[in-house]
Amino acid sequence: MQDFSSKLSNSSRGLVELSCETRLLLTLFASIFSLIFSDVYSLAILLFASAVYLVLETRLKTIVIVYIIFAFMAGIAMLCAHLLGYVLSGMRSQSPIQALLPMMRLMISVNTIIPLAINARLSGMVNSLNRLKLPGIIKLPLLITIRFIPTFLNDLRQLRVAIRVRFRGRGGFFFWVIRPFLWWRVFFMPLVVRLIRSADELAMAAELKGLSSDTDFGREKLVFSKADRLVILLALYSIMAAFLARDFYA
């Protein structure tokens, strides 16, 4: 199996290395509490805490690259929103602070998503899934999905090579833009056929191996390291501080 993110993850390690469960928990905290708070002080505390987590978990170079990409995309989105604001003048916000709040929520989410996405390894993901007590009916397809994605990406690569060979010398961008049906026929149809065949073969292999929704995939015990516990504790303190700030400034 190709561990497609391992190269990236090796180059993106930060000061501490947290478990996959801790990263998921922090992402969950960020998505819930950034929605609950709607004042600038609480969101500023959460933003600061998420930035600290980001710096601890990810290398500075990676952070800078991701932030440049994010700033570029956010800039385009803000420009479009600004233009739409002129068209729909009744929908403009009342104050610059209010305009800042959605951006702060987005930044909190981005800060927690970067370590999760950059440091994710397929093997770690599978181990962490085994540790979570998900029902078998969800766990089996989810494990298959995670394991199959690299194979599927390899299939895509092979199809691209086949198309290059078949349409040698005339496979430019506009060639495909003006022929969407041809793209559908030479790229998408073989892909679906490949998917159906893989599904049949893998299903047969799984049944022969005796896999089913009640198969125990070996539940490992979930152990949080010192760093994990410390980061979760700091996250909880930050949330409490955000609640206090909201009540104090209200």
Number of other residues whose CB lies within 10 A of the CB of residue 132: 14
- The smaller minimum CB distance to other proteins, of residues 120 and 241, is found at 120
One of 48, 70, 152, 217 touching other proteins (CB under 8 A): 152
Q: Which of residues 167-196 bind other proteins (CB under 8 A)?
A: 184, 188-189, 191-193, 195-196
Least separation in angstroms between residue 156's CB and other proteins is: 6
- The closest alpha carbon to 110, from 15, 30, 56, 20, belongs to 30
Residue 33 interacts with other proteins (CB under 8 A): yes or no: no
What is the smallest separation between the CB atom of 73 and other proteins, expressed in angstroms? 7
> Of residues 35, 60, 71, 244, which one binds other proteins by CB under 8 A?
35
**Would you count residue 146 as binding other proteins (CB under 8 A)?**
yes
* 143 lies in the site for other proteins, by CB under 8 A: yes
- Cβ nearer to other proteins, comparing 24 with 44: 24
CB 17 within 8 A of CB 227: yes
Query: Between 58 and 77, how does the x/- string for binding to other proteins read (CB under 8 A)?
Result: ---------------x---x
* Contact letters for other proteins, residues 92-111 (x by CB under 8 A): xx----xx-xx--xx--x--
DSSP the chain: ---TTHHHHHTTB-SS---HHHHHHHHHHHHHHHHH--SHHHHHHHHHHHHHHHHHHB-HHHHHHHHHHHHHHHHHHHHHHHHHHHHTGGG--S-HHHHHHHHHHHHHHHHHHHHHHHH--HHHHHHHHHHS---HHHHHHHHHHHHHHHHHHHHHHHHHHHHHHHTTT---HHHHHS-HHHHIIIIIHHHHHHHHHHHHHHHHHHHHTT--TT-----PPP---HHHHHHHHHHHHHHHHHHHHHHHH-
Residue 181 or 226: which CB sits closer to other proteins? 181
Work out which of 91, 165, 178, 250 binds other proteins, going by CB under 8 A. Answer: 91
Assess 31 for contact with other proteins (CB under 8 A): yes
Q: Count of residues binding other proteins (CB under 8 A)?
A: 71
For position 144 contacting other proteins by CB under 8 A, the verdict is yes
Contact between 27 and other proteins by CB under 8 A: the answer reads yes
Per CB under 8 A, 56 contacts other proteins: no
